[in-house]
Amino acid sequence: MEIDRVYLALQPHLSLLQLPYPFTEEELNRAYRRRARETHPDVPGGSEREFIRVRRAYETLKAFLEEGSGGEVR
C-alpha cells in the first residue's frame, strides 16, 4: 500500500521525464539529460517553462532517492 502511495506522488515527475518506476539514480540522470536537451530554451522548439518543469521533476526525484533509498528504487 505504501508503494502505491509513493508511486502516485511521484507519477507526474516520472511521466515528465519518461522514466519507469522503479528507477535507479543512473536512469534518473540519463532521463534528465535527455529531456533537458529536448526542452532547453536555446534549442529550436525548446521552452523555458517546460525546461523548468523538467528540472523540478529531476530535483524532486533526486531528493526522493537521497532521502531513503540509497540511490536505487527497485
> Tens of pLDDT along 2-27?
778 888 989 999 999 999 989 999 99
Architecture category of domain 2-73 in CATH: Orthogonal Bundle (1.10)
pLDDT tens-place string over residues 31-58: 999 999 999 999 999 999 999 999 999 9
Q: Where are the domains of the chain?
A: 2-73
Q: Take residue 65 and report the three cell numbers written for it.
A: 532517492
**Residue with the three cell numbers 523548468:** 52
- For the stretch 51-59, contacts whose Cβ atoms lie closer than 8 Å and that sit 24 or more positions apart, written own/partner, are 53/16, 54/16, 54/17, 57/12, 57/13, 57/14, 57/16, 57/17, 58/13, 58/17, 58/28, 58/32
